[in-house]
Structures are given as structure tokens and as C-alpha cells.
Amino acid sequence: MKIYVTSVFVDDQDKAEKFYCGILGFRVKNSVPMEKHRWLTVVSPEQPDGPELLLEPSTHPAVQPYKNALVADGIPAHSFKVGDLEAECARLRGLGVSFVQEPVDAGSVRVAVLDDTCGNLIQLIEMKDEPKGSS
């Protein structure tokens, strides 16, 4: 069994596409119109045939309270692995990304948490035991 698609609930798919692709560097895999929204998935350019992240509209009534509770408690909706956390945070800061947690050591990893501008916190993780730059 493999992970095929996982989702993050977003307030606005167009805004999410700009952030996840234009800022984070993912690429659109699918953009299929579906009534008022799209089946909009993105993938890592490092894994174009890997798991897809569905940028899913936050339209279900349970979603907003769920997202608000996660953000209020500082819990990231997703974690993305990077090869060099300091370099990636510097790159993202240069693009105007807001961090709610600066890089810190957490056992075998270094982590930072950013605001995705679409109602979620996203964690970036660097594995300490891997050479810098390998993700």
C-alpha cells in the first residue's frame, strides 16, 4: 500500500495554488473543474510521480472549526521535508513567508513552522542525520 493523495483544506484554491506552487515550489499535477471548485493536486518536482497533495476547498461545515483549533494550538496540518532548513527558511522569508516558529532542534530533526496564507500551519523538517541539501 502507498500514499496516493492526501489533502490540506484551503480557504481559496487560486491563492493556495499561487502559494504552494509559486512560493513553496510544488507543481500542479491535476486541475480539473468540478462545479465551483477544482480537483487541484500538486506534487514535488523531486517526486513528480510521488504522492499528490490535494488543495481541497474548506467548504464542509466541520472544516473551519477543525482548522481554527489546529492553528490556535500551533499544530501543523502537514509536514514537508527539506534538505537544508536554514537555507529554505531564508529563501521563503525572502518571498514574504511568515514563520510562526523559527527553526529549532527536536530530537533527530530540525523543524520550523510557517503560515500557508490559506488557513493552515505547515511544518518544515530537516533530518539531522542526512547530509545538507538531500531531501
pTM of the model: 0.93
Residues 31-51 pLDDT 10s = 999 999 999 999 999 999 999
Is the residue at 55 inside a domain?
Answer: yes
Is the residue at 13 inside a domain?
Answer: yes
Range of the domain at 24: 5-127
Is the residue at 132 inside a domain?
Answer: no
Number of structural domains in the chain: 1
**Where is 17: in which H helix or E strand?**
helix 13-17
Residues 60-114 pLDDT 10s = 999 999 999 999 999 999 999 999 999 999 999 999 999 999 999 999 999 999 9
Q: What is the CATH number of the domain that holds 59?
A: 3.10.180.10
Is the residue at 27 inside a domain?
Answer: yes
Is the residue at 23 inside a domain?
Answer: yes
Distance of CA 8 to the CA centre of its chain: 8
DSSP 70: H
Is the residue at 134 inside a domain?
Answer: no
